[in-house]
Structure 1
Amino acid sequence: MFTGIVEEVGEVREVVADADVVRLVISGPVVVADTRHGDSIAVNGVCLTAVDVTGTSFAVEMMPETLRRSSLAEVSTGSRVNLERAMSNGQRFGGHIMQGHVDGTESVISHTSGERTAEIRFTLSEGLARYVVEKGSIAVDGVSLTVASVEADSFTVALIPTTLADTNLAARGPGDRVNIEVDVLAKYVERLVSGYLPAAHAQEGGGRS
């Protein structure tokens, strides 16, 4: 589990493809400090396993499913990525519950900078739209954010100075693709109540002989 409070912005040092696996070596001295082989680290919101830890860097291996479902297939040497270690017992819960399981990707429509803040508007696909509500929680590239406004096919977040300084979102511009994880609580509620909805009963009844 993660909270969406990014601990540092790391840098991709190597990208190596080996058959159907892509290996990333990422510099991240803060998260590496107490990371061991097999520990989970969220990289741009994707929960990955540290397979090698050396000095101030760690390596992860991505399978085809990860590459299909996230924007990590697009990273290259020099890319800056948001990093967060898995939650530990007793720590403060500053963001919201996140699994590191990306639900999809969306693209930046606009990035409007203020004097010290910014607003970023993203596309919103039909499959994710029902989980996104105004003032609700959403994770963008692993950053826990509050939805400032939502339209049928887009949503906007407002970034405070700390978020701009401590994550890679300040550099996101129109066309950039980002990882999205919607609030897992919304997905569980939908699943639990689906059996009680009239449409669900109608479909079940229609399938009986």
Structure 2
Amino acid sequence: MFTGIIQSIGKVIEKKALSGDLRFTIKTHFNAPEKIQLGDSIAMDGVCLTVTRINSDQVEVDVSIETVNKTTVAQWQVGSQLNLEPAMTLQDQLGGHLVSGHVDAIGHCLSRVDSGRSEIFEFEIPHDLCRFVVTKGSITINGVSLTVNTIDDNKLTVNLVPHTMEHTNLGQLMPNQAVNIEVDTIARYVEKMLRPHLNQ
């Protein structure tokens, strides 16, 4: 599990195709890179991946064709910057919300507008995810835990403060750019439990 609080921005330094799967080497900038161990899980732009090789401040991960098809991973290129968060431990503070690292769908940035020192970003998400999104609820975009400002049909807005734009790759987003979307896991469980009663 993760919290949606980004701890480092990594950079793709190598990309290899492996019979439909992909292998990436990522240069990290963690405060304590020695704490990353072989087999650890790291969320990269919200995608939970397993560390298969470590070389100083570089980690290697393999991505299955299933994940490639359902996330923005195929668009990662050498030089791409990724939001990184190691899996949480029992000692960690839950600063965002519970994030699984299992991306639900690809969304798109529609616009960004200045709002004081912050910016309001509008995103479009698939219609079948809208029932899990509520105003002032949580959503994960490229691995970042964010609060939903508004939701109208399948379009939602979030407010990004300068710190978030500086310490994640969301500040680099442009209109029409694809992003990884994960809805609140708790909302999914609640919907599943209530579904039989709602259909009565």
* Superposition TM-score tier, normalisation by shorter sequence: over 0.9
Identity %: 38
Distance 2:63 2:33 in 1: 19
Partner of 2:3: 3
Q: Which has the larger radius of gyration?
A: 1
The residue that corresponds to 2:109 in the other structure is: 108
Task: Report the CA distance between 1:115 and its aligned residue.
Answer: 4.7
Whether the 8 Å CA contact 1:129–1:152 is kept in 2: the answer is yes
For the 8 Å contact 1:10–1:27, the answer to whether it is kept is yes
CA offsets 1:148-190 (integer angstroms, 9 cap, x no match): 1110020000001110110000000101000000000010011
The answer to whether the 8 Å contact 1:105/1:177 transfers is: yes
The gaps in structure 2 that reach 5 residues or longer are none
Specify the alignment match of 1:149 in structure 2: 150
1:57 is aligned to 58
Query: Over the residues paired in the alignment, what is the CA RMSD in angstroms?
Result: 1.1
How far residue 112 of structure 1 moved from its aligned partner, in angstroms, is 1.4
Distance 2:112 2:27 in 1: 27
Deviation at 1:27, TM superposition (A): 0.5
Matches within 5 A, 1:48-197: 48-197=49-198
User: Take 1:6 and 1:40, find their aligned partners in 2: how far apart are those partners?
Assistant: 14
What is residue 36 of structure 2 aligned with on the other side?
Answer: 35
| C-alpha displacement of 1:119 | 1.0
Q: Which deviates more, 31-40 or 83-92?
A: 31-40
Unaligned segments of structure 1, at least 5 residues: 202-209
Q: Distance in 2 between matches of 1:35 and 1:124?
A: 33
- Count of residues in correspondence between the two structures: 199
Q: Which amino acid aligns with 1:37?
A: L
Aligned 8 A contact 1:44 1:142 in 2: yes
Distance 2:152 2:125 in 1: 8
The Cα of 1:66 is off from its aligned counterpart by: 0.5
Report the Cα distance in structure 1 between the residues aligned to 2:148 and 2:137, rounded to whole angstroms. 6
Q: Give the structure 1 partner of residue 12 of structure 2.
A: 12
Which runs of at least 4 in structure 1 moved beyond 2 Å after TM superposition? Answer: 113-116
Cα distance between partner residues in 1 of 2:47 and 2:21? 16
Code of the residue aligned with 2:113 in structure 1: it is T
Q: Which amino acid aligns with 2:21?
A: V
- Preserved contact between residue 124 and residue 152 of structure 1 (Cα < 8 Å): no
CA 1:88–1:54 in structure 2 vs 1: closer, same or farther (change >3 Å)? same
TM-score by length of 2: 0.96
